[in-house]
Structure 1
């Protein structure tokens, strides 16, 4: 594969091993043109074309430009930033260097989850090794701690932290590529996105497009949780089906449990059911199915899971992680969580079900970041697919009464 030779992390690569395999040899090639031709898109969830973002930063007139490697990973169930930085830190670092050269940036930051001690050690050592070997050549790379709150991973919130402020998103536009850190053009890419850059520049866009589909070239790292027989981080080409990931890669659920529901991409995605396993793992196919690919965190739920409890857990997560800056977001997330708690306890009547869509529609797009729109898909899909469980809870109340 592109990022992991065996499709999953198996060996913590050293500086010498990386260099012996051709590492740091792509720095003199035409970087931006190759990235544009490759069709590489961001792997953090939005899927924005990387070449387009870099072009905006490169073409914006400024006396300084910046690169931010966003490793503030705090998405529930996601650990691919951690495994990339622990197992292949030089691949990520070379991606940072190439991105900096592509937009003529002299300073870059690794914005790293403050609890990732092993990643900090691996990355600082990698920077020291590359600097000693002369591979940085005028580029300063600094590791900066990222607060462990969900919203701190949002691009503009990361910029606020790097400027010494609380992690609160900025109103947009302007977008960071045009005016970001200290008001200068700033490219913010996540770890997986930047890790794709060296193989593309070294081997060419045509080589990269051999993986995946014509519309979505390349691979993506998918995180499988402990509910699976074979949990872990797996690199798979776009176009792989959910069934292949679930059965062939993950080995199915532990104890041969039957599958009930799927949450592809993280807590902001819509639920799918077990009869949708043949969907292709690419953004368009997931969107057509009413969900999204997100950042590749895959959650598989066995029969017996209370979907009311699970939906409430997701709503409470967003209510807890809202930074409170936007009144609409704060009120929406609290209201949705409160209504779900009332349903779970059997307090209220069927009129509560009509409140969800009204609240979501009224507040859509009224926040500085996307968090305000995130509770809607899981809540509305759970109501549509598992409505009888919500009705049963409302009538009978009590934890787990739908089982």
Structure 2
């Protein structure tokens, strides 16, 4: 059963739908054959991280449920609706790497309550006790190095790590940090096998992913779809556009804009470069794309860790430059600053902001031309 079909908030229903944890599987082999990649945004092959962590001594495994981006709700939905599926995957990953510590990292609220209730039901049943660490509610708190810092009891801020977390993470121990959706997929691959997992998706990107759809659609929410599904088909599942669309933001605030005319484009990394954490925001034609881009970049600048030059100085300057474009300035300064901050930060936050800024300039070229003339291509502005 796929994730949302298998969802059950209580242990009895979960066991009736999914059965017990399938201990003793050759999990690394299964995950490699399944082609599972991380669902937190980076899309890294999961089996590689499992293999690397398993080589170390006394590993730590962390289920990362920090969901700091305002447009994303899929991790929250999964933890509330299917906490046992995530915990099954966490236990199986811990067994595969011979971990001695397991942690769920989740924001306080309904998701944390669901996890704690599920852990209480599983008391004495799991192979490894699980601790809950509260994730702060800000954008960069879910980055891998920030997760390590939080589990160690420090402030959840990303850092420029010279050693890979899989080699030296929490208190110097090899650490597996996996998104909660990824771990839920691990649980079902262990139950049903890699061939079952590959029945959905594409040959290059098998399986399903959880997509959070919001903006100008009739039924915003979280949907589970195969990799490679056309953009328009996912929008149709969300009830279709609520009006004429200008573009769709794919991949969230670190993502890229897809013009509404490209509704047939497949939702895959091969086609789009990245799906991020599966966030899609539909922009109505009545909205000014440049104004929205300015708001997002202002938000990203405020949400930075402020630990390196690109975040401390570059992102605020980038946000001001986009605001100037909204006011009628030429866009060259935005492009120049995007080049300056990219690949120079202590984490990937500046890279995501630069990608979003460039995409905004590319897709909203008609808006730029109108703003240079003192007008706006949208029927109204924000």
TM-score bucket (shorter structure)? over 0.9
CA distance in 1, matches of 2:220, 2:344: 37
Match of 1:97 in 2: 91
Which of 331, 335, 349 pairs up with 1:371? Answer: 349
- Asked if residue 262 in structure 1 is aligned to residue 248 in structure 2, the reply is yes
Contact 1:343 1:397 in 2 (8 A): no
Displacement of 1:208: 1.1
Contact 1:389 1:402 in 2 (8 A): no
Match of 1:253 in 2: 241
Structure 1 residues 218-297: aligned runs within 5 Å: 218-225=207-214, 227-247=216-236, 249-254=237-242, 257-287=243-273, 292-297=274-279
Which of 191, 194, 201 pairs up with 2:180? Answer: 191
Contact 1:92 1:194 in 2 (8 A): yes
Secondary structure in 1 aligned to 2:334? helix
Contact 2:244 2:285 in 1 (8 A): yes
Match of 1:2 in 2: 2
Q: Deviations over 1:60-91 (max 9, x none)?
A: 3x2x2101111111112111111111111111
Which of 64, 76, 80 pairs up with 1:82? Answer: 76
CA distance in 2, matches of 1:195, 1:159: 21
- Asked if residue 344 in structure 1 is aligned to residue 333 in structure 2, the reply is no
Return structure 1 stretches of 4+ with deviation > 6 angstroms: 397-402
Structure 1 residues 101-140: aligned runs within 5 Å: 101-114=95-108, 117-132=109-124, 134=125, 136-137=126-127, 139-140=128-129
Which of 61, 65, 71 pairs up with 2:65? Answer: 71
Q: Cα 1:308–1:20, aligned 2, differ >3 Å: closer, same or farther?
A: same
- Asked if residue 321 in structure 1 is aligned to residue 313 in structure 2, the reply is no
CA distance in 2, matches of 1:319, 1:188: 26
Contact 1:157 1:167 in 2 (8 A): yes
Contact 1:392 1:402 in 2 (8 A): no
Displacement of 1:206: 1.3
Structure 1 residues 135-150: aligned runs within 5 Å: 136-137=126-127, 139-150=128-139
CA distance in 2, matches of 1:189, 1:227: 31
| Aligned pairs, number | 381
- The two structures have a TM-score, normalised by structure 1, of 0.90
Match of 2:165 in 1: 176
CA distance in 1, matches of 2:85, 2:46: 17
Structure 1, 42-51 or 269-278: larger mean CA deviation? 269-278
- Asked if residue 359 in structure 1 is aligned to residue 337 in structure 2, the reply is yes
CA distance in 2, matches of 1:230, 1:97: 35
CA distance in 1, matches of 2:65, 2:333: 37
Contact 1:221 1:235 in 2 (8 A): yes
CA distance in 2, matches of 1:386, 1:103: 47
Contact 2:101 2:129 in 1 (8 A): yes
For structure 2, the residue ranges without an aligned partner over 5 or more in a row are none
Displacement of 1:387: 2.2
CA distance in 1, matches of 2:18, 2:324: 59
Match of 2:143 in 1: 154
Question: CA-atom RMSD, angstroms?
Answer: 1.9
Q: Cα 1:284–1:148, aligned 2, differ >3 Å: closer, same or farther?
A: same
CA distance in 2, matches of 1:103, 1:25: 16
Contact 1:23 1:91 in 2 (8 A): no
Contact 2:287 2:379 in 1 (8 A): no
Q: Cα 1:400–1:33, aligned 2, differ >3 Å: closer, same or farther?
A: closer
For structure 1, the residue ranges without an aligned partner over 5 or more in a row are none
Q: Deviations over 1:279-322 (max 9, x none)?
A: 111111112xxxx3111111111111101111101110110111
Displacement of 1:143: 0.9
Match of 2:317 in 1: 335
Secondary structure in 2 aligned to 1:177? coil
